[in-house]
Each structure stands twice: as C-alpha cells, then as structure tokens.
Chain A
Amino acid sequence: MNPERFADVEEAFHRLCALQGQARRDAFAQLEAEDADLAAEVASLLDADDATWRLGDFAGAERDTRRSSPLQGPTAPAEPAPPPERIGGFRILEELGRGGMGVVYLGERDDDDFRQKAAIKVVKRGMDTDEILDRMRHERRILASLEHPNIARLIDGGTTEDGRPYFAMEHIEGRNLLEWVRRERLDLAARIRLFLEICAAVEYAHRNLVIHRDLKPSNILVTEDGTAKLLDFGIAKLLVSDGDLRTTTGELLLTPDYASPEQILGEPLTTASDVYSLGVVLYELLAGVHPYREKIQGLAGLYHFASKVTVQRASTRVLDVDPADASYPPQGSRPLARALAGDLDNILGMALRREPERRYPTVAELAEDLRRHLDFRPVRAHPETLGYRVSRFIRRQRLAVAAAGLIFLSLSGGIAGTSWQAHRASQALQQAEEQRQEAQEQAELARTVNAFLVEIFGEGDPGKHLGDEPTARDLLQNGRTRLDTLESQPRVLAALAVVMGQVYQELGDQAEARDLYGRALEIRQSELPAPHPDRVESLYLLADAERELGNAANSEALLTQALQELGQLPEDQETRAILMNDMGATQHAADNPDSAADWLEQALEIRQRLLGSRHSDTAQTLNNLAVVRARQGDFGAAADLFRQALETTEDLLGREHPESMVRRSNLAATLHQLGDNGAAVAEYRKLVETQRQVFKRAHPETGQSLNNLGFILLRSGQTGAALAAFGEAELELSESLGPDHYNTLSVLLGIALGHTQSDQPEDAFVTFKEFFQRAERIKEQPLRLLQSAHARRGRLWLSLGDHRKAIADFCSCLRFREAAGLPADNRGEAEIRDLLREALAANPPGESTDAEGACSARLLTRGAAQ
C-alpha cells in the first residue's frame, strides 16, 4: 500500500462509517463492484472499528477523567454548567434532561453530507466514578449490539473534550407511552397492539441475550406516527456475563414500581423479570391505574411487597378507582371491568406472578397470548388454580422419580385426562347448532364447577389467606367436605369429583383419586343413559387410577368397557386414541409388552394422522411406546422413539421443560443400554447443562444426572472424567439433599469405584471409610448400598491379598443382602459366595476368628440351601 491508496481507503472507510444498516450495506455493495480490493480493505477496517466498540473498554482514557486535564488547570467548573458547545461531532442544541448520574443533550451533527439529530448522554461532572463509567460503557456495548425498529439506535460514542464518556442515540421525538395513549384515546385493542410492538423490542433484546431490567412507561416513547420506541438500557444485563448491577453500597438500581419481586430481592434475574415489568406496564396501559394499591415505601416496604403482595385483578381494580383514570373506550369503569374480566385478567395475572417460573417464560409467549385474545382464540393463560399449582408440583415429582434410578423409564397414561376434557369442550362447540342445549348445559356446568373451585381454592383473593398458605391437601380436604352438600346436583357433584380426583392423582394419592372417580362413575351410570361421553370419561379415569394402584386387571376391564361404549357413540378417533394409549399403559403394567406395543402402535397411528407429529399427545404415545420397546429389549427402536418424543417436546415446550428433561434422561439411559456410551454421555452432558440453567442452584436431579454420567464414563473406561462427574454430583447432592442422604452416598460408592479402577486403593479405602461413617448417620440403614459397598471393598482387599479383611467384607455383604431381602439365588450373590470361598481357602484357617467362620458357614449354606 502507498499513501495515495491509504487515503482512498480512509475516505471510503469514513463514508461507510457514517451510514447504518441497509444504507451501509448498499454503499458497500457498490464499492465492492467498483474496487473489490479496496472494499475488502475497508471491510476489515469496519470490522475493526466495530470491535473497538464491542470490546469497548475505554481503559485508561476514562479512568483518567477523574483528574482534571492538566491543560485546563486544576479546577473543574462546578455544576450546573451551561451545556457544552459540542460533544464529539455534535453541536449541542439544548439539554433534554438529567438524571442521577448523567445529562442528556439534544445534539445535531452537521457533517459534510448529512445532518442528524441525536440524544447525547454524558456522565455528569463529578459523577464519573469507576462504577458509573462502567455502567456507561456497559450500556453502550449493549446498545451497539441491538438494531431493531422499536429500539432507539446507537449512533456514535466517544469521550468529550474534558474526558467524560458519552454516547449518541437516535433522538426520538415522542411522548411517554401512557401520555400518548391517553391523549390519543386509544381503545383497548389499539393499546394492546401498541404494547405488542414493545414486546417485539424486548423479545429481540432477549434473543440477543440482553435483559432490559428497567421497563417502565417513561422508558417507552411513542413517536408521532405511533411507533413505540424502547429507550434506556442503562441497567440492562447481558445474560451471558454475570455481573450484578447492584452498586457496591448495595443501592438498588431499579424503579420499584415496575421491578419484579426477584429483582427487588436481589435474586438471579431471567427474561421472566422483564415479563413481569411488561406485565405492570400492560396493567397500567389497560386498567389506567398502577396495579399496586399502595406506593412502595422504603427498603422494608420493598421486601415486604416482594415476598407477600399479590396483584389485584385488573377488572376488580378499575371499579375501585376514579372513572376519570380510565376514561377511554370502553367508557366508564363498569364496561372496562367487563372487557378486562377473563382473558385479560388471566394474561395479566400470569405475567405478574410472584414466582418467575410460573410466569410466561418468554415475552414471545405473553405476546402470543395477547394476539390470541385479539383474534378471539383461546388464550394459554389460566387463572391461578390449585390444579395448576399441583400440576407443577407433580411434574417435579415425576422428574424426581425419573431421575432416581440409573435406568428408569416412566410410562405415563395419566396425562390423557386433560386432553380428553379439552377435546370435549371443542366438540361441544362444534356441535353447537344441533346440540345447543347440551352445550349450554355443559357451559353452565363448567361455570358452576369453576365457581366452586374458586371458592374452595380461594383463588385471587389475597385477603383470604393471611398467614400460612394452605397446602394443597388442606384445600382438597376442605373441598371434599363441601362436595357432600351437592347431593341435590348429581351432575355437578360428578364433575367436581372428577376434577378433584385428578388433583389427588397429581398429588400422587391414587387411592383418594380412585374413590372420587368411582363415585363419579356410579353417579353418571345411574344418571346418564348409555352410551354417553361422560360415562366413558369416568370409566377411563377410574381405569387410570386402578392401574396406578397396581390393579392392572381392573384397569383392563374398565378400559374394555369404555372402548365398547365408545364404539356405540358417533365416531370419535381422538378419544379412541386416548383409550388405546391407556390400554397400552395398562398392558405394560400387566407385563404384556407385546400387547402393549400393539395398542400403542394403533394409538400412535391415529394421533400422528389426527394431530400430526408435533403434538404433545403424539409425543406422549411415542414416549410410552419407547418404554415398551425398551422393555422388549429393543433398545435401538426405543432410543429412536425417545429421540422423536424428545424432539417434539423440546419443540413444543422448550428444552428446559420438565417433560423434555425426563425424556432426555430416558434417551440417555436407553443409549447406555444400547451400548452407545458416547451418545449417552453426550445426552447426559446436555441434560446436566439444562438442569443447571433451570435449577440455578444445587439440585438433586442435576446430581443424579451427574451420577449417571459418572457411572457410564466409568464403564467406558474414562476414569478421570468419571471421577470429575462424581465429584460434581457429590457437590450437587450434598448441597441439595445433605451429605448423609442415600443418593449422596451412592455417589461416594462411584468415587470409590473410580479410585479402584484407576489403581489408587488408598484413595478408594478413604472413600469407603467416609461412606461407612456417613451411612451410620442415616436413620434407616441403606441396606442395598451397604451390601454393594462391602462387596466392592471385599474385592479390593482380595485383589490386594488381604484375605481376612476380604472375608469380613463379604460376610457383611451377605448379611446386608439378607437383611434387604435380596434373593439368595441370583448371580450377584452367587459371585460373592464364590469370592468368599476363595478368600476362605486362601486364608490360613487359624487366622480366621470363630465368629467370622460361623457367619460365613451360615451364609454359605443359606446360598447352598436355595
């Protein structure tokens, strides 16, 4: 390169720098056409320029701003200072506003070829501490990474003459969101549509791994043409880095009126925190009032609020306030309350739940529900009922169960009840013309049931549960007592018994569920003529509970009856698939895998045809069939089916959903069975990663996955990696379950085995010792673990030639096996007896104590006698 060429490059570089987005891409394309080499040179410089932004560490320059420039003399002018004439390339026109640490000016850039207005944010003089400078740099870095029509764009940045960092943003001429909608008198639907633009911006930021953390109406401006623009990423957080933006003095950087509870409590933040803040904004936008009745005051008030307060329903709240506050179409508090009741109340309720994991997990889902509401489609948000709380609980339980053993495959038929009901509702709507009366009855029934549930579960009324939140069981018990008052309304009674039975079932109380389902079936069979869909429902539900209680024969009989009755009703393939799926589950429980596979294949065929592959019911049947295939020993087919089920579940519910995690766990276990340890390890690693993201802190399930991972690594000879996995498992489990828990102890055994395998007997013995010490502290002796530990240590002693110690361990092992009720005639036990004989033979007879001799003789005969 020569100086002339350099000058050309520089000219093109500056020209392109001044352009953004599409304009820049166009100009670049033109340059490339004219002079490809020059274009390549400029491209690399533009990248470098971007990198200086993104890496954006102003390093020394900003740190040095705390001294006055030596050329200016020792005294810096005191605030308030008149606006500077220029900042960077911008002529300053006026001051737009100032906050705690920064000033925002309106500036204009009059470069050679274009004019541009910008809002220029600069740190106040005297406020340029490391912390604030860090925050400025942080905000700039975040803004530089975002380009979206509903987000104010970053134009430029740098350091002012007197050394303070600044950045220039697209100047938005607009009004605060709430002012705008009031002035324009937008109706509800228009407000929601405007809000959807904000959702799009936040969603975009989330996709770029940025949480805004300070969403509030004053950070949302609406331009004259009605476009919403999101501003102020001042305390936004990059999801990947973990820097917390509490200041060193503990000062909270947030606006309490819009902050999520977890933000106030200083807990880890996720995108759900922005969902909450958006919920508050939406509430204010729709109801015309802020959701909190009282102003939050002081730190104590904040903490109290964050841990206690429940938000009042918007439709109720608008009746309390002066109608002047809600004076937009629909006019008046009452019409507005009616418009808000139902969907919008539910959507707001779901966005404003105190626990982040119970809100909409993403802004996209909040937006989707709002769009559904606008399109008159059913929304996903549901009122906060006990059933919902319980279903979350049961999901957790199921997961725990699934992860508890190395190879555990869950076969679930129980979910079918839900889809049955949903299906019934849509059927009722479809047949509305000819069966209007039936539909009305159904609706009336649904309303009565709903009202009853609301009453017993006290939903949405914070005043009702002062003190401890009642447990699910308390509420159910309460409900059962009230059920008896409904003898005069048998159909309502039956419907309620069904709902409560489901809740009990989800709580894991199958016996209570069976009683309630039985009662419902009895009523329906006497009240309703056969065939009837309600009778079919009751048959199937009772069958489900019977199966879960281990009465496969009863379950099969009930399902057969249900299939017969269904056959007399008009063709209903969806219900048929449910019954077949459940029959498959029942056959599996009855240990008829071949029959189970037949039923499930039929169910799968119908569901794939009717619902498609991307449906949770199809995924359920896929999962069930996979379990059966594994049972039949066809691990290849099982792995394949699990993978399909997993893909669908992940697609529909996300990788972090409990169902997805169970299925991945099943897949990993099956791959291991198949002998594909490499793939199994990969799946367990993914699972662990997801679990860590979901649980945030130490969790038994993460520990269990790590334990499984460790065992597979151990078996495939990767002892070092196995020990690492066990080490992490031990940490997770010790922290979540405690060091003296059965599962934690099981990890210790893995560690001992790892040490044995890697020829470190000393380490192995130390671990065994630790294991036995901890095992003693457990109230109920972990017999199975103890026998296993003694067997393993016995082998180690034997291999080292210490026969006496080996004999003692093998004897203990056999004693614990006996105590645990393990059969004496299995291969494992025969092996231990052989080893014991070997040790006894090698040990000079005089050296063995009599007691040991007697013990061995008895235990050896126990085996021989069988």
Chain B
Amino acid sequence: MAAVSDSKSPPIPAAGDVSQLLVAWRRGSDDALEELTPLVYGELRRLAQYYMNGERHRDDLQATALVHEAFLRLVHLKLDWKDRQHFFAMAGRLMRRVLVELARKRDADKRGGGEQPVTLAGLELSLEAPQDVLGLDEALKTLQKLDGRKVQVVELRCFAGLTIEETAAVLEISHATVERDFKMAKAWLVRELGLA
C-alpha cells in the first residue's frame, strides 16, 4: 500500500500505453489483448520478485497489493470504469500465474528469495511455503473442472482484490451469486487444503 508513494520504488519499464490497449481490447481487438497480457504480466512479475527478494522487506506478500500497484503504474486513472474492471479481471488470473511460477522457482532453488508468506485477500489463508501456493493452484484446477465460475470469483476476489460488487459486474452475475459462490469456494478450498 505504501509502495505507491514510495520514492524508492523501481522505475516503470516500458510505459507502453496500457490504457490505450485496454480500450482497444474492449472494442474487440484481440491484438490489443495479445500486447497487453505480457505487459501486465511482466509488471506483476517484476513487482512480486522485487518484494520477494526482500529488497523492500514486508511481513508478507499481498497479491492484491501487487495488482493494485501494477494498476496504478500502468493505467490512467481517467480510464472508463469498465476498462478498469477488465484490467483487474485479467490481472487476477495473471497474478495467480505469477505466484505459482515464483513458488516453483523458490521450491526448486532454495536460495531463491526470502521466505515471505503470501497473503490472499478474502481467503483466511497465509501461504507460508512455496508448496502451499502450489497446493492452492492444484485445488483451483480441480475446482475448475467442477465449476469454472467459482475459480473466476476466487481469482477476482483473492488475486485481484475486487469487491463483491465489482466481481459481480465483471462476471455479469448477481451480487448474491458472487457471495454464494465465494462462500462455497472458500469452504471447498479450505477443506481441500486440509486447513479445516
């Protein structure tokens, strides 16, 4: 959270106009999406690595904080709210991938990075070891086969940090449905991860 105004934050790399791409994407340009994805992904990854390596020490790595930070770096605030939502919809999935990749790397190379736990918004979980992140990913893959929308809700809520209302808008379902989906998904994940 404080990272936004921190002067020691890393410089923004290619400040490619993410906002423009988001607008184009919404207008149906698949090319825009293809260009956009690596930009957002790269930024998320860079930020995650940055915090993981402990250059700026925090108690834990908060996925949503990273997404928000990436958002503030990449996107103009004047952007239409619908386009913002698209950004977060994409960022949630990407964030999950980033975390899984980092966890694999940390798992393989024990020296790689500190041992910060990863915190996911709305899920009462703190994922201490790389295996925890990988376990969660596996559980989400299983859930994907049973009810894909639940996974989308989890990605939006937990990885991108969207509120229930925002999640409902992105997925174009009702507020109550988001709540129910999320409650079910949470219980299911907690049980699968053996935390109950």
Contact = CB atoms under 8 A, between A and B. Distances in A.
Asked whether A and B interact, the reply is yes
Interface of A: 1-3, 6-7, 10, 13-14, 17, 44-52, 55-61, 63-64, 66-67, 69-71, 73-74, 86, 88-89, 158-159, 161-163
7 contacts: A13-B187, A45-B184, A52-B190, A55-B124, A61-B64, A61-B161, A159-B163
A161 B164 contact: yes
Interface stretch (B8-16, B65-73, B101-109): B65-73
Contacts of B179: 88-89, 158
B123 interface: yes
Contacts of B126: 57, 59
A55 B187 CA distance: 13
Q: Which are the 6 A-B pairs with shortest beta-carbon distances?
A: A48-B196, A60-B121, A48-B191, A48-B190, A61-B121, A6-B146
Interface in B1-25: 1
B124 A70 contact: no
A70 B163 CA distance: 10
B121 A64 contact: yes
A161 B84 CA distance: 17
B125 interface: yes
A163 B68 CA distance: 14
A256 B176 CA distance: 43
B37 interface: no
Given A1-B146, A44-B196, A163-B163, A71 B85 contact: yes
Contacts of B186: 48-49, 52
A47 B196 contact: yes
B contacts with A: majority SS: helix
Interface in B180-194: 180, 183-184, 186-188, 190-191
A88 B186 CA distance: 16
A70 B71 contact: yes
B4 to A, nearest CB: 8
Given A7-B147, A44-B196, A66-B1, A14 B121 contact: no
Contact of B125 (A1, A45, A59): A59
Nearest to A55: B124
A50 to B, nearest CB: 8
Given A61-B64, A70-B88, A71-B88, 16 more contacts: A10-B180, A10-B184, A44-B191, A48-B188, A48-B196, A52-B124, A63-B1, A64-B62, A64-B64, A64-B121, A67-B1, A69-B166, A158-B179, A161-B164, A161-B165, A163-B163
Nearest to B166: A71
Contacts of A64: 1, 62, 64-65, 68, 121, 161
A71 B191 contact: no
Contacts of B163: 69, 71, 159, 161-163
B1 A57 contact: no
A51 B196 contact: yes
Contact of B119 (A50, A60, A86, A89): A60
Interface in B60-86: 62-65, 68, 71-72, 77, 81, 84-85
A59 B191 contact: no
A2 B145 CA distance: 8
B162 to A, nearest CB: 7
A56 B124 contact: yes
Interface residues of B, number: 43
Contact of B68 (A2, A70, A86): A70
Nearest to A52: B124
A297 B68 CA distance: 47
Contacts of B85: 71
A60 B120 contact: yes
A45 B120 contact: no
Contacts of B81: 71
Nearest to B180: A14
B122 interface: yes
Contact of A59 (B119, B188, B195): B119
Nearest to B146: A6
Contacts of B84: 70-71
A10 B85 CA distance: 28
Nearest to B67: A70
Contacts of A163: 163
B187 A52 contact: yes
Contacts of B184: 10, 13-14, 45
A49 B124 contact: no
Given A59-B119, A59-B123, A60-B120, A51 B164 contact: no
A523 B146 CA distance: 95
B68 A60 contact: no
A47 B188 CA distance: 10
Nearest to A66: B1
B87 to A, nearest CB: 9
B77 A59 contact: no
Given A14-B184, A63-B62, A89 B176 contact: yes
Given A44-B191, A59-B120, A3 B65 contact: no
Nearest to B163: A161
Contacts of B161: 60-61, 64
Interface string B117-137: 001111111100000000000
Contacts of B145: 3
Contacts of A58: 122, 124
A51 B190 contact: yes
A45 B195 CA distance: 11
Contact of B63 (A10, A49, A60): A60
Given A44-B196, A55-B124, A60-B121, A71 B190 contact: no
A58 B195 CA distance: 15
A69 B1 CA distance: 12
Interface string B139-166: 0000001110000000000000111111
Contacts of A89: 176, 179
Nearest to A74: B77
A71 B188 contact: no
Contacts of A6: 146-147
A59, A60, A64, A163 pick with most chain B CB within 10 angstroms:
A60
A61 B196 contact: no
A606 B15 CA distance: 96
Contacts of A51: 190, 195-196
B183 A57 contact: no
Nearest to B142: A1
Contacts of B119: 59-60
A556 to B, nearest CB: 69
Contacts of A47: 191, 196
B146 A3 contact: yes
Contacts of B187: 13, 45-46, 48-49, 52
A50, A61, A88 pick with most chain B CB within 10 angstroms:
A61
A47 B65 CA distance: 30
A14 B181 CA distance: 10
A97 B8 CA distance: 44
Nearest to B62: A60
Contacts of A3: 145-147
A46 B184 CA distance: 9
A74 B5 CA distance: 14
A61 to B, nearest CB: 4
Nearest to A112: B176
A71 B183 CA distance: 23
A66 to B, nearest CB: 7
B81 to A, nearest CB: 6
B63, B88, B122 pick with most chain A CB within 10 angstroms:
B122
B122 A61 contact: yes
A7, A55, A66 pick with most chain B CB within 10 angstroms:
A55
Nearest to B161: A64
Contact of B183 (A7, A49, A61, A162): A49
A86 B104 CA distance: 42
A211 B166 CA distance: 39
Contacts of A67: 1, 68
A855 B118 CA distance: 75
A1, A13, A64, A69 pick with most chain B CB within 10 angstroms:
A64
A73 B62 CA distance: 21
